Amino acid sequence: MAVGWPAVPPIVRPRLTTSAVLSWEQYTETDDATLRNYDRIMAATGVYQGRQVPVPGKPGEMEDYGWMEHSGRRAEQALRTELRAVLKRQGFGLE
């Protein structure tokens, strides 16, 4: 167990608004303006500072890397691919 205080205070990251992550009875998409605003807020924290990515379709051109890009890259990765098989072995019906 570690006890103590960090030498440098961690960055407190802002959260998406409740309306962007909570739906009742049916799924509702979050509007682009809300997501782009959150992307700007996250960029202002400095957490993605110094990161850039190529602009699709524009060779040699770079753009800032932000929360939307980061989230998109995470979502496209196939993670926990074995989970379905584990759940089926445990008796969960996943057909």
Asked if residue 77 is part of any domain, the answer here is: yes
Asked if residue 47 is part of any domain, the answer here is: yes
Q: What is the pLDDT of residues 50-74, one digit of tens each?
A: 888 788 788 888 877 889 888 887 8
Asked if residue 80 is part of any domain, the answer here is: yes
CA distances from 45 to 8, 11, 13, 71, 83 (A): 15, 7, 7, 16, 35
Asked if residue 55 is part of any domain, the answer here is: yes
Give the range of the structural domain holding residue 49, as residue numbers without chain letter: 30-89
Asked if residue 39 is part of any domain, the answer here is: yes
Report field, pTM of the whole predicted structure over 0.75: no
Asked if residue 20 is part of any domain, the answer here is: no
Asked if residue 73 is part of any domain, the answer here is: yes
Q: What is the pLDDT of residues 9-39, one digit of tens each?
A: 887 889 999 988 898 898 888 889 999 999 9
